């Protein structure tokens, strides 16, 4: 495994001159926009495309009308979208990127998708002499804005070396975990753990509220133990206020837990907790919380326990 501290790399190794080409960026959502803004601020020549109109300050970046138009002449193409079908649409759909990709281009997927989806995309692009790197990111909107994401990657060492200057603009740490699919697998492991922790906290708060102890008291006590974490601290205000502006949308966690459970099953790994957590997020999504932060699973659990909001 290659563990690279991107923030410590010499400036000459991460400069646009060292990269020597244009960057195409597909996907301007809550994560994609701050990520590409950091790439632009570093001085890279960038062309962007988004499937819907998006009002964002992208400085000198050029906006393309189609994915194919965005990738023409690019050295690397970076995707940051919601799921596997969205990645496939951008690459192989109408006016898709494959129509403009030249042999030798490197496609870097930062989106969270399945391991099998990742490997299949790599095979299809290899037929066109295009190399695929899966490089999903760990962190939410605030680290994305600060260029402090952690990148977990699968693919060839040579391809990663070529795109390291771009990755250094968006992240502080790069883990090269092995061949294509390794980054996708690690991202699912991390997100499954994240989903389990947040769902478990929601169960405990529902019980605390129903018993009369109160979720505020539970969180106060938990904060004084070794089980406390930056994750819980970050969600604490949402839970206490019962307001959930999305940093990591609940619908995305629901998708990630499904993908993780599928991958576990393919390896004959038991996943009782992951499956139970997935069911809880599905229930929350059915209650209209899909676009709220994933921490809103606590509200759904509280409602199931017959506890009123407040």
**Contact call for residues 144 and 178 (beta carbons, < 8 A):** no
Q: How confident is the model at residue 194 (pLDDT cuts 50, 70, 90)?
A: very high
> What average pLDDT is seen over the chain?
97
Task: Sheet containing 2-5: give its strands across.
Answer: 2-5, 171-176, 149-153, 137-138
**pLDDT the model gives residue 54:** 81
85-94 own/partner pairs: CB under 8 Å, 24+ apart:
86/27, 86/51, 86/111, 87/111, 87/113, 87/117, 87/121, 88/117, 88/121, 89/51, 90/26, 90/27, 90/49, 90/51, 91/67, 91/121, 91/125, 92/124, 93/67
**DSSP labels, 207-235:** HHHHHTS-HHHHHHHHTTSTT--HHHHHH
Interval 232-259: pLDDT, tens? 999 999 999 999 999 999 999 999 999 9
Q: Give residue-wise pLDDT tens across range 112-133.
A: 999 999 999 999 999 999 999 9
Distance CA 89, CA 76 (A): 18
Question: Computed from CA positions of residues 149, 150, 153, 156, in that sequence, does the dihedral angle turn out positive or negative?
Answer: positive
What percentage of residues in the chain have a pLDDT greater than 90? 97
- Residue 90's CB is within 10 A of a number of other CB atoms, namely 28
Angle between helices 272-284 and 297-304 (to 10 degrees): 90
pTM: 0.95
Per-residue pLDDT tens for 47-93?
999 999 888 899 999 999 999 999 999 999 999 999 999 999 999 99
Residue 308's pLDDT is what?
79
> What pLDDT, on a 0 to 100 scale, did the predictor assign at position 24?
98
**Residues paired with 298 in a beta bridge:** none
CATH code for 185-304? Answer: 1.10.1040.10
Pairing relationship of beta strands 74-79 and 22-26 according to DSSP bridges? parallel
Instruction: Give domain limits for the chain.
Output: 2-178, 185-304
Topology match between the domains 2-178 and 185-304: no
Give the integer Cα–Cα distance in Å for 169 and 15: 9
pLDDT-derived band at 218, boundaries 50, 70, 90: very high
Three-class secondary structure of residue 68 per DSSP: helix
Which pLDDT belongs to residue 309? 64
Q: Which CATH architecture fits 2-178?
A: 3-Layer(aba) Sandwich (3.40)
pLDDT digits (tens, 9 = 90+) for 162-193: 999 999 999 999 999 999 999 999 999 999 99
Confidence at 298, pLDDT banded by 50, 70, 90:
very high
Residue range 38-48, pLDDT digits in tens: 999 999 999 99
User: Do residues 265 and 259 touch, judged by C-beta distance below 8 A?
Assistant: no
Please determine, for residue 2, whether its predicted confidence score (pLDDT) is greater than 90.
Answer: no
Among 75, 90, 74, smallest CA distance to 32 is for 90
Q: What average pLDDT does range 271-284 have in this prediction?
A: 98
pLDDT in tens, 7-19: 999 999 999 999 9
**pLDDT at residue 268 above 80?**
yes
**Is 250:278 a contact under the CB 8 Å cutoff?**
no
pLDDT of residue 310: 61
Whether 1 has a pLDDT exceeding 70, the answer reads no
């Amino acid at each position: 495994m290659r563990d690279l501290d991107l923030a410590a790399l010499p400036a000459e190794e991460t400069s646009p001159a060292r990269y020597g080409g244009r960057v195409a960026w597909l996907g301007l959502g809550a994560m994609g926009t701050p990520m590409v803004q950091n790439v632009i601020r570093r001085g890279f020549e960038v062309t962007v495309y988004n499937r819907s109109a998006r009002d964002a300050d992208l400085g000198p970046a050029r906006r393309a009308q189609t994915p194919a138009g965005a990738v023409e002449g690019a050295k690397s193409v970076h995707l940051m979208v919601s799921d596997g079908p969205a990645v496939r649409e951008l690459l192989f759909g109408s006016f898709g990127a494959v129509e403009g990709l030249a042999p030798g281009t490197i496609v870097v997927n930062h989106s969270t998708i399945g391991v099998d989806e990742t490997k299949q995309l790599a095979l299809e692009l290899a037929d066109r002499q295009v190399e695929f790197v899966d490089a999903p990111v760990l962190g939410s909107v605030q680290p994305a804005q600060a260029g402090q994401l952690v990148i977990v990657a699968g693919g060839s060492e040579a391809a990663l070396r070529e795109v390291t200057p771009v990755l250094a603009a968006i992240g502080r740490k790069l883990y090269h975990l092995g061949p294509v699919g390794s980054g996708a697998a690690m991202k699912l492991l991390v997100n499954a753990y994240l989903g389990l922790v947040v769902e478990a906290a929601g169960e405990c708060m529902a019980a605390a509220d129903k018993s009369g102890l109160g979720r505020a008291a539970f969180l106060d006590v938990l904060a004084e133990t070794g089980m406390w974490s930056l994750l819980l601290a970050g969600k604490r205000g949402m839970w206490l206020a019962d307001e959930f502006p999305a940093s990591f949308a609940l619908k995305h966690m629901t998708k990630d837990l499904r993908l993780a459970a599928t991958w576990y099953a393919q390896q004959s790994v038991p996943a009782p907790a992951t499956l139970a957590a997935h069911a809880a997020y599905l229930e929350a999504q059915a209650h209209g919380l899909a676009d709220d932060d994933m921490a809103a699973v606590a509200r759904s659990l509280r409602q199931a326990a017959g506890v009123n909001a407040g």
